[in-house]
Amino acid sequence: MSVTPEILSYPDKGHQQWSRLESVRALFCSKYGREPDIFVRVPGRVNLIGEHVDYCGYSVCPMAVEQNIVFAAAITPEGSPFLKLVNDQAKVYPDTTVPDRKFEIDLKRDGWAAYVLCGVKGIAEILVGKSLVNMEIAVSGTVPPGSGLSSSSALVCASLLTTAQLNNVKLTKFAMAEMSASCERFIGMEGGGMDQAIAFLATRGCAKHIQFNPVRTEDVKLPSNAVFVIGHSLVTKRKAETSEYNTRVAECRLASQIIAKESGIDWEQIKKVKDLQDALSCNLEELLNLVDKHLHAGVYTKQEVCQCLGIGENELNEISLSPSTRKIKEFVLKERVTHVTSIEGLGVLMTASHNSMAKDYDASDPACDRLVNSFMTAGALGARVTGAGWGGCVVALTTPDRLNQLMDHVRLDFYAGYEGDVGKVLFQSEPQSGACVIKA
C-alpha cells in the first residue's frame, strides 16, 4: 500500500467516473479559459459504530462512501489573485476570489470558501520561507451537506491535498489525515479526526477501525452478507455554524476533569475521557462506576462546575473551555460521559448505540428516530444515526436477501410524500477507497 495518496491516470470514456470528471473539467475550462493541471477526489464517509467518541480519544469504525468531493485545479501565473474558487452549485456556493495570502478564516464572512481555506492554510503553515503558488479551483460535491456523511471534511481534505500537490509538497496519508483534522479547527470545529482519517486512509471493500493519538487503522472485513443502507432523515444540521457539537466536546472534558479531581489526579492535564481512563489505568466498567459515583444526572450550572473543580470562572474558561464554549451557562455531564464509555463496551450493537445517542447524548432528531424505526420495522438488523446527528443520515444493516424488501418498505413508509429523487436520499453503500489525485 502506498504511503502517499494514490495518483491515478485519467479514466477512459465509459468508466463510471469519466462523465463526472468531464463535467468538472468543463466547469473549470468555462470559468478560467484553460485546462486544469490536476483533479483530486475525496470521499464522504458513513460511521458504523462509535459516534461522538473520537474527540474523547476513543476509536471509531467508518467506511468511505461513493458520494465525494472533486476538485479540478491549476497553478496560475504570478500577478493573478491568490485563489479563485467556483462551484458547480453556484447558487448555494457562489464564486469566490481570495486576492492575497492572508489567512484569517472567518466562517460567517467566507462561507463555503472557509472550508477550502482551512486546507490551504494547513499547507501554508508548513512551507517555511516559501509562499504558496496561485491557484484556480473548480469544486463539485455529491456528499449531502450537513447530513452526517462528512461533506465538510471531504472539502477540507480535498483542499489540503490539492494545495500540497500543486506546491510539490510530499506528505504521507497519515500526515495529511492528522493535518486536515487540525485544519478543520480553523473554522472552530473541535472534532476528533475520524472524518479526515477515513478520507485519506480508506481502502475499497473495507471499513476501518481507527484509533487516535497517533492515527492508526486496521481493515475491518465486513461479513460477506452485510449490506449497509443509508437513509437521509431530510433534516440537516450545519455543525460549525451551531453550538451543539462543541458543547458536547466541552461536556465530556468537564466530566472527565471532575472525576479526575475527585480521584486525586492532576485534573488540569486531562483533556479527554481517554486521558482519564489512561491516568486511572482502569477498564470501561470501572470508569462507568466512577461516573456513577462522582457525577449527578441533569444539568450542572457553570458555577457548580467551578465549585466541583475548586476554581473561578476565568480559570475554567482558560483551562477547560474554548472561545466557542465559554458562553455556555449549563452543562449535562453524567449522561454525556455515560454515552461515551458505554458505547465502547457495546461494540457493534448499532441499535443500542442509536438509543444512547438519542437518550444520553441528545444528538438525534425525531425524524432520525422515525427513520430508525422505519428501518427496524422493515427488518433491518440494526439502525442508527451516523455522524454528529441532530438530523442527517441513518445507516442500517441488512443482508442481500432482505435488501429489496427493506428498501421498498422504507420508500413507502418514511419517504411517502417526499417529492424529490428518493434514490438520492435512500441508497445502498459499499466501502470505497480514500483520497486520490487524478492526472488531467
Which residues are the active-site residues? 195
Nearer to ligand NG1, 116 or 438 (CB): 116
Rounded CA-CA distance 420/410 in Å is 15
Supply the minimum distance, in Å, between the C-beta of residue 195 and Mg ion.
6
- How many helices (H) and strands (E) the chain has is answered by 16, 15
Which residues inside 46-75 make contact with ligand NG1, applying CB under 6 A? 47, 51-52, 54-55
Supply the minimum distance, in Å, between the C-beta of residue 296 and ligand NG1.
26
Nearer to ligand NG1, 76 or 152 (CB): 152
Supply the minimum distance, in Å, between the C-beta of residue 388 and Mg ion.
7
Residue 180 makes contact with Mg ion by CB under 5 A: no
Supply the minimum distance, in Å, between the C-beta of residue 153 and ligand ADP.
6
Partner touching 390 among Mg ion, ligand ADP, ligand NG1, none, CB below 5 to 8 Å by kind: none
Strand order in the sheet with 393-398: 382-385, 393-398, 227-232, 426-429
Residue nearest to ligand ADP (CB): 141
Residue 147 makes contact with ligand ADP by CB under 6 A: yes
- Interface residue with ligand NG1 among 122, 188, 382, 387 (CB under 6 A) is 387
Task: Assign residue 298 a region (left: φ > 0; alpha: ψ between -120 and 50; beta: otherwise).
Answer: left
Residue 39 makes contact with ligand ADP by CB under 6 A: no
Question: By rule CB under 6 A, what string of x and - marks binding of each residue 57-96 to ligand ADP?
Answer: ------------------------------x-----x---
- Interface residue with ligand ADP among 83, 139, 175, 287 (CB under 6 A) is 139
Supply the minimum distance, in Å, between the C-beta of residue 152 and Mg ion.
3
Supply the minimum distance, in Å, between the C-beta of residue 148 and Mg ion.
8
- Interface residue with ligand ADP among 68, 96, 152, 196 (CB under 6 A) is 152
Give the binding range for ligand ADP (CB under 6 A) out of 73-81, 150-158, 278-286, 357-365: 150-158
- Helix spans in 378-440 (H): 400-413, 422-425
366: how many CB neighbours lie within 10 A of its CB? 11
Residue 439 has φ and ψ, to the nearest 5°, of -65, 140
Residue 112 makes contact with ligand ADP by CB under 6 A: yes
Nearer to ligand ADP, 50 or 392 (CB): 392
Partner touching 192 among Mg ion, ligand NG1, ligand ADP, none, CB below 5 to 8 Å by kind: ligand NG1
Which residues inside 233-262 make contact with ligand NG1, applying CB under 6 A? 239
Q: For the chain, what's the residue count? A: 440
Which residues inside 239-268 make contact with ligand ADP, applying CB under 6 A? 239-240
Residue 152 makes contact with Mg ion by CB under 5 A: yes
> Taking a C-beta distance cutoff of 8 angstroms, is the pair 68, 44 a contact?
yes
Supply the minimum distance, in Å, between the C-beta of residue 249 and ligand NG1.
8
Which residues inside 307-346 make contact with ligand NG1, applying CB under 6 A? none
Strand order in the sheet with 62-76: 6-8, 436-439, 38-47, 62-76, 134-141, 83-87, 96-98
Supply the minimum distance, in Å, between the C-beta of residue 354 and ligand NG1.
13
Rounded CA-CA distance 61/348 in Å is 10
Helix, strand, coil abundance in the chain, percent, nearest 5: 40, 20, 40
Rounded CA-CA distance 412/414 in Å is 6
Residue 395 makes contact with ligand ADP by CB under 6 A: no
Nearer to ligand ADP, 239 or 354 (CB): 239
Nearer to ligand NG1, 47 or 256 (CB): 47
164: how many CB neighbours lie within 10 A of its CB? 25
161's enclosing H/E stretch is helix 151-166
> Taking a C-beta distance cutoff of 8 angstroms, is the pair 245, 190 a contact?
yes
Residue 76 makes contact with Mg ion by CB under 5 A: no
b/e code 383-404 from CB counts within 10 Å (16+ = b): bbbbbbbbbbbbbbbbeeebee
Nearest alpha carbon to residue 50 among 433, 364, 345: 345
Kindly compute the dihedral angle of the four CA atoms of residues 116, 118, 122, 127, in this order, to the nearest 10 degrees.
60
Cβ neighbors of 19 (< 8 A, separation 6 or more) are: none
> Taking a C-beta distance cutoff of 8 angstroms, is the pair 385, 148 a contact?
yes
> Applying CB under 6 A, which residues contact ligand ADP?
87, 93, 112, 115, 139, 141, 143, 145-152, 155, 238-240, 387, 392
> Applying CB under 5 A, which residues contact Mg ion?
152
